[in-house]
Structure 1
Amino acid sequence: MSRCSIPLLLAALLLAAPAAGQDAPTLSIETLKTVTETLSSDAYEGRAPTTPAEAKTTDYIVARFKTAGLQPGNHGSWFQDVPLVEITARDVAPITITGGTTPLSFAYRTDMVIATYRVVPRIAVRNSDMVFVGYGINAPERGWNDYAGVDVKGKTVVILVNDPDWETAGNDGPFEGRAMTYYGRWTYKYEEAARQGAAAAIIVHQTAPASYGWNVVQSSWTGPQLELAAEGDHMDQSEAIGWVQLDAAKRLFASAGKDFEALAATAGNKGFKAVPLGLKASFTFDNSVRRQASKNVIGVLPGTERPQETVFYTAHWDHLGRCDAVDGDDICNGALDNASGVAGLIAIAEAQVKAGPAARTQAFMAVTAEESGLLGSRYYAEHPIYPLGLTVGGVNMDVLNVNGRTRNVVVTGYGKSDLDDLIVPLAKAQGRHVEPEAHPERGGYYRSDHFSFAKLGVPMLDAGSGEDLVEGGTVAGEAAAKDYGEHRYHQPADEYDPTWDWSGAIDDLTLYYRLGRGLAEGDSWPAWKPDAEFRAIREASRAAAQ
């Protein structure tokens, strides 16, 4: 394929990055404040897709795109319809466990959560044999199969979250050590259980390997659940999927005469064999089903020389809507997650329009249903408006830094593509250095919308300020991150604060602006590294686009 060398593009980007004291792109702090405050106000009710708040949200984004000077990005329309099905579990009975030393009953929300991908009015699982399948991984290329020698058709599988080597200090191991692979994501666990024919798949919640507490599971997995509408109504999936509290899981294993901690440790070893528990699970719940399209919002700044080639900026506009009340507040406003990212998207659009069109088209897309499993970006990637083989790459923004300037820039999935190399000189021009994420075991690479593009071959940067604050260092930065994770993330307390320091966000957005501008003005095609799992599909899509 034809592409200029990455070293040449690195040099071009470095030359395009002004030294300290020179003019920077015009990125409006007022835009960041106004958009974030507006979208996270109670009037927007937490921006849940397919609720009355959606039209208010998407109309506001369109108005800001128009004011910025963008053009409609979907053949004259600002919207891409995303067909969704909303399933709300009702009358959820406790999960009852029989066959062990002690009959057990696990209550909905406190002990477990349960849901389904299937578009059916009722789920009823009766006397389903339970099997512990370790990490629930079938990875032939790694010589690993937790389902080897066991038939789980019609059974309920109990699964551990993350990868078998998640507690490894470094990144060496059968599943890249501390760095989570896709095999460690909860989405994969359910996908594989369905392929194996399991009636139900239950993940044991543990805070460290999941990287969030039970409160996040409870708020995210109760109430209306969204999935992409599809032919067949997802009847190829397990009847039920869910999570169980760790203490409840320990009681379950004890009733089976097993030691949970001992079996969990064994599951981390290659050659682990699934363990029938001698227990039977039963549960029922009804479903309210509603079909409705949500919307991605897309605006473009058309290119002047190669408009068919596109550079993307993305951020998700949705949040959780109404959620579990805390001190009487039941709106999960999602100020940082991700009203701030949408504000950044609009601020960059304003700056790019002010700078004028580039050689390539620049697209700005606010996607829906990220919180439901990256559904909006996944739908776009599977139904692209602009061919993926002609999509150069881009930047995804999910939660901006409002804690002040930092000395470091952190990249999730660092080392997977040339984009990671390209931001090094841009960060250096700001007096910052680039480093991998501190907690790759949290699977951040698989938890935001860049991944939908990556799965289909398009390199997208997912980066942001690290925790080494200029004022306060890593102590202050880590404390701020911990406070957000424990007290605000996916909770009503994620609200706009007029005292936030946006200087770090401006640094990050400047970096994203310059990366996108360099790609849009140039003719390079950033590639995946030789060992990246997405390299082959990218090479195929680029070849087909020639």
Structure 2
Amino acid sequence: MRRAFSVLTLLASTAAAAQTAPQISLDTLKQVTERLASDEFEGRAPTTAGEEKTLAYLVERFRKAGLQPGNKGSWFQDVPLVELTPQNVAPLSFTGGKAPVSLDYRKDMVIGTYQVTPKAQVKDSDVVFVGYGINAPERGWNDYAGVDVKGKTVVILVNDPDWQTQGLQGDFGGRAMTYYGRWTYKYEEAARQGAAAAIIIHDTEPAAYGWGVVQSSWTGPQLEQDTPGDHMDQSKAIGWIQQDGAKALFASAGKDYAALLEAAKHKGFKAVPLGVKANVSFDNGIRRQASKNVVGVLPGSARPNEYVLYSAHWDHLGRCDAVDGDDICNGALDNASGSAALVALAEAHARAGPAKRSLVFLAVTAEESGLLGSKFYAENPVFPLSQTVGGVNMDGVNNVGRAKDFVLIGVGKSELEDLVKPFVAAQDRVIVAEPTPERGFYYRSDHFSFARLGVPMLYGESGEDLRVGGKEAGKKASDDYTANRYHKPQDNYDPNWNWDGAIEDLTIFYGLGRQLAEGSTWPNWYPTAEFRAVRDKSRAGR
């Protein structure tokens, strides 16, 4: 059963929340965001000069806020990374069909590899359409059933088979994306199946972003964890193709693209060999270099060996494909603003004095490369995960004004959702369903690295129902950011941002973190959550 919270407890907590609301510094939010998003920091790409400047500035602000170095006297945790830069990329070509198909790098396709090798080549590889590329025995679904794709090139659809469902009922959660819908899973499963290459078909709605995002994120230096074995168990090539390129491929193969897309939505779909062969090759520039997570702590007064965690990623894309001559992806909202929130919360907690439990402030690297910094911390924690009570992750703040609603991303997973309700209610706000569950935000930020290893983490944000302008204004602002700024050089700091909503959200995060740090409870995942078993195992005997 879920832990019961009585009405009296909720009312008491609500009153306490209203009485102990901190003063979140607006000046700090503005100063830190503007500085980190300036051209001086060159887009904050890991292992660049921009990282060095970012680390120095975060340490300066953490120290000034009143934090102590969190890693045995150091502010840093080394994160071993390997940087792979595709060079001399040949077109991705398909031969043997009705007509040859050739897709150009950047314009029609992007390509890369996890393998740490100076040259990647896929030659005369049979092409197989594997639908959504999912192998989920617990759901009775296997797109690889009855087909051997070892050494072959698999072409895969993005998202889940039921992403167009308007409700949340279906084999894969209906409209809400599961991890099976994420591109990371699709490459992981293709590698497990032995595929030489895995190519995802880009489609803006189920991907949740346009081709420009793929182009800017997947070109230039790419980072991966540097681990023994050089990832040679992964596919030789992974990438994306534009939907028009996919249609040309299927037409060359004599296949009905629309009919196969429809078939792939249904259980029992069988993979379809396309009768064509794929070819692509490229060189890799290889550079091994450690990046760094930044770790600050406010030691607890009574139970310093129990920890409450705040996290945000400091990195962005660095230099990227130029737009109107601008080739710096500054990442002002994503995630200079979240890093600024981390500093502002540290200041607020330090002003309040030590809590009974320790408060940890973690600025992680390489989120944009696949949550690498948080993944490394979670697998190599400075503070034991079994002793980490829970926490809050921040990836962008509200910069468009106060909202009437508050959205829990991935709702229905942990008891932190019960604990946060009084703080939301204290602002006369309501918790609402995630408006775009098909975008899979729960699996796209650093809280997921901790969740998958058992630590309950809250990921929430302002909804789209603004106090001024309502839902129409909120949706317009959200859509505008996604279309025109997300992962593009246009994500710049704007002195005209409205920070009122950010301050309200951070007040909620402060209250929740402070309550956890002053209390003695250990919130868990709900019994139906996929992370409950690993948490119970890690806490056994504690």
TM-score normalised per structure 1: 0.98
Instruction: Provide structure 2 residue ranges, at least 5 long, that are not aligned to the other structure.
Output: none
Q: Is the 8 A contact 1:113 1:218 kept in 2?
A: yes
Give the counterpart of 1:189 among 183, 186, 190: 186
Equivalent residue number for residue 438 of structure 2: 441
Equivalent residues in 2 for 1:169-180 (5 A)? 169-180=166-177
One-letter code aligned to 1:227? E
Q: Does 1:318 align with 2:304?
A: no
Aligned to 1:154: 151
Kindly indicate whether residue 163 of structure 2 is the aligned counterpart of residue 166 of structure 1. Answer: yes
Looking at structure 1, the residues matched to 297 and 20 of structure 2 have their Cα atoms a distance apart, in angstroms, of 25
Contact 2:122 2:281 survives alignment (8 Å) = yes
Which residue of the partner structure matches residue 509 of structure 1? Answer: 506
Equivalent residues in 2 for 1:324-335, closer than 5 Å: 324-335=321-332
Does residue 42 (structure 1) correspond to residue 22 (structure 2)? The answer is no
Give the aligned partner of residue 57 of structure 1: 54
Match of 1:266 among 259, 263, 266: 263
2:25 is the alignment partner of 1:25: no
Contact 1:122/1:284, CA 8 A, preserved across alignment? yes
Shift of residue 15 of structure 1? 3.4
2:16 matches 1:16: yes
Q: CA contact under 8 A between 1:122 and 1:287: conserved in structure 2?
A: yes
User: For the Cα contact (< 8 Å) 1:160–1:204, is it kept in 2?
Assistant: yes
Provide the residue aligned with 1:114 in structure 2.
Answer: 111
1:71-110 map, 5 Å: 71-110=68-107
Deviation at 1:16, TM superposition (A): 1.9
SS of the residue 2:399 aligns to: coil
TM-score by length of 2: 0.98
SS for the counterpart of 1:361 is strand
Shift of 1:531: 1.0
Q: Would you say the 8 A contact 2:17–2:511 is kept in 1?
A: yes
Q: Deviations over 1:17-53 (max 9, x none)?
A: 11xxx56302100000000000000000000000111
Aligned partners of 1:11 and 1:396: how far apart in 2?
A: 26
Q: What's the counterpart of residue 143 of structure 1?
A: 140
**Within the alignment, does 1:349 sit opposite 2:346 as a pair?**
yes
Question: Which residue is equivalent to 1:422?
Answer: 419
Q: Which residue matches 2:125?
A: 128
SS of the equivalent of 1:541 reads helix
Residues 206, 85 of structure 1: alpha-carbon distance in 2 compared, 3 angstrom cutoff: same
Instruction: Give the secondary structure class of the aligned counterpart of 1:248.
Output: helix
Q: Separation in 2 of the partners of 1:145 and 1:36? A: 45
* Cross-structure match for 1:481: 478
C-alpha distance in 2 between matches for 1:295 and 1:39:
16
SS at match of 2:198: strand
Look up the SS of the partner of 2:540 in the other structure: helix
- Structure 1: runs of 5 or more not aligned: none
Matched, 1:380 2:339: no
Alignment-derived partner of residue 214 in structure 1: 211
Cα distance in 2 between the residues matched to 1:71 and 1:331: 32
Measure, in 1, the Cα distance between the counterparts of 2:9 and 2:537: 23
Instruction: Provide the rounded CA distance (Å) in 2 between the counterparts of 1:327 and 1:164.
Output: 38
CA RMSD, Structure 1 to Structure 2 (Å): 1.3
- CA offsets 1:338-369 (integer angstroms, 9 cap, x no match): 00000000000000000011110000010000
C-alpha distance in 1 between matches for 2:12 and 2:90: 62
Letter in 1 for 2:108: D
Q: Secondary structure at the match of 1:351?
A: helix
Letter in 2 for 1:465: S
Q: Which amino acid aligns with 1:540?
A: K
Does structure 1 conserve the Cα–Cα contact (< 8 Å) formed by 2:198 and 2:239? yes
CA contact (8 A) 2:3 2:415 kept: no
**SS across alignment from 2:492:** coil
Cα deviation for residue 9 of structure 1 reads 6.4
CA distance 1:28–1:393, shift in 2 (3 Å): same
Check the 8 A contact 2:401/2:468 in 1, yes or no: yes
Counterpart position of 2:540: 543
Q: Give, in whole Å, the separation in 2 of the partners of 1:84 and 1:67.
A: 29
SS in 2 for 1:475: helix
Which residue of the partner structure matches residue 463 of structure 1? 460
Cα distance in 2 between the residues matched to 1:384 and 1:468: 38
Q: Distance in 1 between matches of 2:433 and 2:472?
A: 18
1:201 aligns to 2:201 (yes or no)? no
Letter in 2 for 1:372: S
Shift of 1:420: 1.2
CA shift for structure 1 position 272: 0.4
SS at match of 1:25: coil
Q: Distance in 2 between matches of 1:439 and 1:12?
A: 33
Equivalent position of 1:243 in the other structure? 240
Give the drift of 1:307. Answer: 0.8
1:340 to 337, 341, 346: 337
Aligned sequence identity (%): 68
Cα distance per residue 1:409-433 (max 9 Å; x no partner): 0111011111112111110100101
**Matching residue of 2:487:** 490
Letter in 2 for 1:32: L
Letter in 2 for 1:14: T
Structure 2 residue identity aligned to 1:282? N
Aligned partners of 1:122 and 1:285 also within 8 Å: yes
Query: Is 2:15–2:426's contact at 8 Å kept on the other side of the alignment?
Result: no
The offset of 1:6, in angstroms, is 4.6
AA aligned opposite 1:400: V
Q: Is the 8 A contact 2:21 2:511 kept in 1?
A: no
